[in-house]
Amino acid sequence: MAHTPRKRFGQNFLIDDQVINQIISTIAPKSDDSIVEIGPGKGALTFPLAEYLNNLNVIEIDRDLISILSSQNNTKITIFNADALEFNFNHFSKKIRIVGNLPYNISSPLLFHLLNYRENIIDMTFMLQKEVVERIVAPPGNKTYGRLSVVIQAFFDTELMFIVPKESFNPQPKIESAILYLKTKSRPLVQDLKPLEEIVKLAFSQRRKTLKNCLKSVLDQSQTNIDLSQRAEMLSLDNFVTLMNDYEKQYRN
Ligand code: SAM
């Protein structure tokens, strides 16, 4: 069945068996795992992965690709024709493991959507733009350390597993990709996502300015022990938790 790749759905299909095997080794699937694949496409990862599993759930937005997937009549695969950005990941009865070669144009909003389901997620193995993976795993002080790094690292242990070259896809993307592994922390650094998101967004709103400047509408130096003459990129995750608690104290009641 012919299918013309759709740019608006971020369709770059994997054509490299070695990379597919490496992704499966990273996932290390066990037969009774409850795995959800986002964006199965034509099934490059789906069919080899299903070999290891009793059942595999997949979420795909493009109806034409669903026809291709279902034409294989693989009874292990349950297909959801849905937008992953709106999908309710609490749908499954067991804790899930999520995998996918993600559409790059929605990777950040998708990660933020998935954060809402973190208590139901064991881990996630994703292919993303290399640059986005580097931002997610960046330590404090690094020039790529930012909003995404702090918010994701508060809830997940993160690891860049390996780089994937452009040649592993058809059509070829313009940039390199990388495999990111996210393991849900058994003890997240904070309970609530919202206040952390708010303070982190403000703190990084003007990277070149000090925290004093970025946070002036919500917090001043007399209300926190964190030195506000620093820039946000110097703050550790624990510092951000302190800052969030001090911020919340002002707005509770
Ligand atoms: N997994 C396949 C592979 O590796 O060859 C395809 C990967 S391709 C980069 C991204 C896939 O995500 C496409 O199949 C695309 O149609 C699908 N997709 C795009 N946006 C989506 C969305 N919002 N929800 C679910 N699937 C989506």
Q: What is the pLDDT of residues 39-59, one digit of tens each?
A: 999 999 999 999 999 999 999
- 227 and 132 share one domain: no
Q: Is 83 in the pocket of ligand 1 (CB under 6 A)?
A: yes
Domain that includes residue 20, residue range: 7-184
Nearest CA to ligand 1 atom 6: 41
- 215 and 176 share one domain: no
User: Which residue, chain included where needed, has tokens 């911020």?
Assistant: 247
Question: Ligand 1 centre and the CA of 9: distance in Å?
Answer: 6
Nearest CA to ligand 1 atom 14: 41
Question: Ligand 1 centre and the CA of 214: distance in Å?
Answer: 37
Q: Is 9 in the pocket of ligand 1 (CB under 6 A)?
A: yes
Q: Which CATH number characterizes residue 214's domain?
A: 1.10.8.100
Q: Is 68 in the pocket of ligand 1 (CB under 6 A)?
A: no
Domain C-terminal end among 184, 211, 228 = 184
Q: Is 146 in the pocket of ligand 1 (CB under 6 A)?
A: no
Domain C-terminal end among 184, 207, 227 = 184
Domain C-terminal end among 184, 208, 232 = 184
In a domain, 33, yes or no: yes
- 68 and 171 share one domain: yes
- 225 and 110 share one domain: no
Q: What are phi and psi of 38, to 5 degrees?
A: -95, 130
pLDDT of residue 1: 64
In a domain, 236, yes or no: yes
Q: Give the chain's mean pLDDT.
A: 95
pLDDT of residue 253: 56
In a domain, 54, yes or no: yes
In a domain, 2, yes or no: no
Contact of 81 with 74, CB cutoff 8 Å: no
CA distance 95 to 164: 28
- 43 and 121 share one domain: yes
- 179 and 227 share one domain: no
- 0.75 exceeded by pTM: yes
- 105 and 214 share one domain: no
Q: Which CATH number characterizes residue 132's domain?
A: 3.40.50.150
- 176 and 110 share one domain: yes
Number of domains observed in the structure of the chain: 2
pLDDT digits (tens, 9 = 90+) for 102-155: 998 899 999 999 999 999 999 999 999 999 999 999 999 999 999 999 999 999
Helix (H, G, I), strand (E, B) or coil at 101: strand
- 131 and 99 share one domain: yes
Contact of 115 with 193, CB cutoff 8 Å: yes
Q: Which atom of ligand 1 is found nearest the CA of 6?
A: 16
Q: Is 62 in the pocket of ligand 1 (CB under 6 A)?
A: yes
Q: Is 85 in the pocket of ligand 1 (CB under 6 A)?
A: yes
